[in-house]
Amino acid sequence: MATSALESVAVPGIAAKRRQSVGASRFAPKRLLGLLPLVVVLVAWQIATLAEIYPPVLLPSPERVAMAFVVDYQDILFNAFASVTRVIIGVSIAFCVAVPAGLMIGRYRTLDMLSDWTIQIFRSVPPISLIPMALLFFGIGDKPAIVLIFLAALWPLLINTIFGVRGIERTLITVAKAARASEWLIFRDIILPAAMPAVFTGLRLGIGGGWLTVVTAEMIAVKSGLGYMILNAQLTFRSELIVAGIVIIGAIGLLADQGIRSLRAHVCRWQDGLTAAAE
Amino acid sequence: MTGFIECRNVGKTYESASGAVEALRGINLDCAPGEFVCLLGLSGCGKSTLLQIIAGLETASDGAVVIGGHELDGPSPLTSVVFQDHGLFPWMTVRKNVAFNMKAAGVKPVERAARTDELLEMTRLTAVADRYPHELSGGMRQRVGIARALTTRPKALLMDEPFGALDAQTRGHLQEELLRIWETQRTTVLFVTHGIDEAVFLADRIVVFSPRPGRISAVVEVDLPRPRDPESPGFMALSRSLRHKLVPDLQGAPLG
């Protein structure tokens, strides 16, 4: 048959490469390169404390910080849990608001005209500058912190979702229209998946922003969480607990980002081999 | 007898920054049920615009289009479009792409799955059903586009330079494949192309367009027996005469 030649023209290797890139590369030895700068920092830190460049009250040694993780693990766990819970709640609400809103604004010109200036104004306001107002309205507690995290995550999620919808190839909408697809189906099967990579970018930025905000907010507006713990450790001259807090903040940030990346790799696996990969 | 697709004095004028541009003027065209009609012309002659209008994706500024006895008002359920750049959804597997038009038409999932398998079989895509479009060759992608268009059992296929982006050999294979499908399905096909040989190879009737404004300059019946041999004298003679019908356009055209 004339077409049998065509079957074999299917681009070979891409499918195989895709499976490989999802599974193997994360565990490749090259990945360990990422540890190198951290090791350098640790060694420099150790040398600095041995040389007593700063008094131990200000700069604790790595061993003392490690000990803090053992001695104060309950405190650290409790506060880390409080911070993480707030971020999850705040970012989740932001996600549920920003993604549908962004899909609509990206799709309909009138909504874009309506919202553009407002979005640009409000996203320029750092959430931290809203702490005094949040305190006035909500008092000390979870509420002001969650509201601030919500605001920190809302704008990057919204703007990236809109951006994602704008990037859709026009033809694909035309294809759906020619097939008489309902507006709902166009949203669900075309606009949403097409915008998904950008939504994930927004989610990464939103979680990052939310995480920065929670620590700051906890130093002022709440009596629990890692920010509160660090500030409290300063008041009681426990520098090793301050550093332990900083380490755990960084570690959770890294974990969250890695988590979102793997989720994205799974949800947007259709992109493998489409986007340019780094050499 | 009136055609399955009828264009009655269709005209299209675009408003642009530099004034109105007349893309189509006075198009009258009838396609009989099961007929294979090629719209042939150089780029910018309005043939694709006419197809867009018949697909219900553009509105005519003048005249009317009637499909299956109903005046057109948006995309008709009786037609399916095969797009120039195949228009596959990159986040859907081949199977999901093929099923999409049925999903849009509200076909039940069970029926959808069965019909998808049937079409994958017919277009020889079963082996790649779970791949994503970018993992396929250009020719295979367009076969997915054709399979998707056929799922809803359209009475007419509207094809907008579907093989334009393919290499000559793949194009040849797909032309044969399209004729095979057409002969079994007996749908009307309206096929836009700028390839003279492609039109002669495929069509029952060739409608020649000329530009500025886009209008029909000639209609040629092709009565060569199928399968057609591009090397045969009849084929070559017809190609030559069509080339002469197209060339006068070039002489009046501004350079560049």
- State the CATH number of the domain containing residue B64: 3.40.50.300
Nearest CA in chain A to B132: A270
The pair of structure tokens assigned to A183 is 């507006």
Site of tokens 């268009």? B149
Domain residues for B41? Answer: 5-78+155-252
Q: Under an 8 Å CB criterion, which residues of A touch B?
A: 2-3, 5-7, 9-11, 14-15, 18, 171-172, 174-182, 185, 189-190, 193-194, 196, 268, 270-271, 273-274
d(CA B211, CA B217): 9
Confidence of residue A244 (pLDDT cuts 50, 70, 90): very high
Domain co-membership, B126 together with B183: no
Q: Does B55 touch chain A (CB under 8 A)?
A: yes
- B16 belongs to a structural domain: yes
User: What region does A59 belong to: left with phi over 0, alpha with psi -120 to 50, or beta?
Assistant: beta
Cα dihedral across residues B245, B247, B253, B256: positive or negative? positive
Give residues 128 to 167 of B whose Cβ lies within 8 Å of A: 128, 131-132, 134-137, 139-140, 143, 152
Would you call B100 an interface residue with chain A, using a CB distance cutoff of 8 Å? yes
Sign of the C-alpha dihedral computed for residues A251, A252, A253 and A256 taken in this order: positive
CB B67 within 8 A of CB B78: yes
Is B38:B7 a contact under the CB 8 Å cutoff? Answer: no
Q: Do B123 and B191 share a structural domain?
A: no
Query: pLDDT class for A8, splitting at 50, 70, 90?
Result: very low
Report residue B127's pLDDT band, with 50, 70 and 90 as the boundaries: very high
B103–A10 C-beta distance less than 8 A: no
Q: Tell me the per-residue pLDDT of A104-139, one tens digit each, with 9 for 90 and over.
A: 999 999 999 999 999 999 999 998 899 999 999 998
In a domain, A48, yes or no: no
List Cβ neighbours of B89 (8 Å cut-off, separation of 6 or more).
A172, A175, A189, A190, A193, B96, B97, B100, B133
Q: For chain A, what is the domain count?
A: 1
Taking residues B24-53, what's their average pLDDT? 92
Whether A23 has a pLDDT exceeding 70, the answer reads no
Option in B104, B136, B177 nearest A176 (CB):
B104
Q: Is residue B25 within a helix (H) or strand (E), and if so which, with residue range?
A: strand B19-31
What mean pLDDT comes out for the span B68-77?
91
Cross-chain Cβ contact A174/B75 below 8 Å: no
Closest CA relative to residue B105, chosen from A242, A130, A185, A6: A185
Look at B170 and A9 and tell me if their CB atoms are within 8 Å: yes
Express the helix, strand and coil content of chain B in percent, nearest 5 each: 40, 25, 35
SS3 B175: helix
Interatomic CA distance for residues B24 and B9, integer angstroms: 10
**CATH number assigned to the domain comprising residue A192:** 1.10.3720.10
Same domain? For B16 and B139 the reply is no
Amino acid at residue number B137 = S
Q: Is residue A194 part of a domain?
A: yes
Stated length of chain B:
256
pLDDT score recorded for residue B85: 87
Alpha-carbon distance B179 to B161, whole Å? 15
Nearest to B135 among A15, A177, A189 (CB): A15
ipTM over 0.85: yes
pLDDT for the residue numbered A259: 94
Report which residue type is found at A40: V
| Judgement on whether residues B174 and B203 belong to the same structural domain of the protein | yes
* B200-B147-B133-A5 Cα dihedral, nearest 10 degrees: -60
Ramachandran angles phi, psi of B64, nearest 5°? -145, 155
The reply to whether B178 falls in a domain is yes
Residue A189: DSSP 8-state = I
Residue B231, classed as helix, strand or coil, is coil
pLDDT of A29 = 77
- Is residue B113 domain-shared with residue B234, that is, in the same domain? no
Q: Do the domain assignments include residue A32? A: no
In this structure, is residue B21 part of a structural domain?
yes
Q: State pLDDT tens for residues A185-194.
A: 999 999 999 9
- The DSSP secondary-structure symbol of B227 reads S
Interface test with B, best of A1, A4, A8, A9 (most B CBs within 10 A): A9
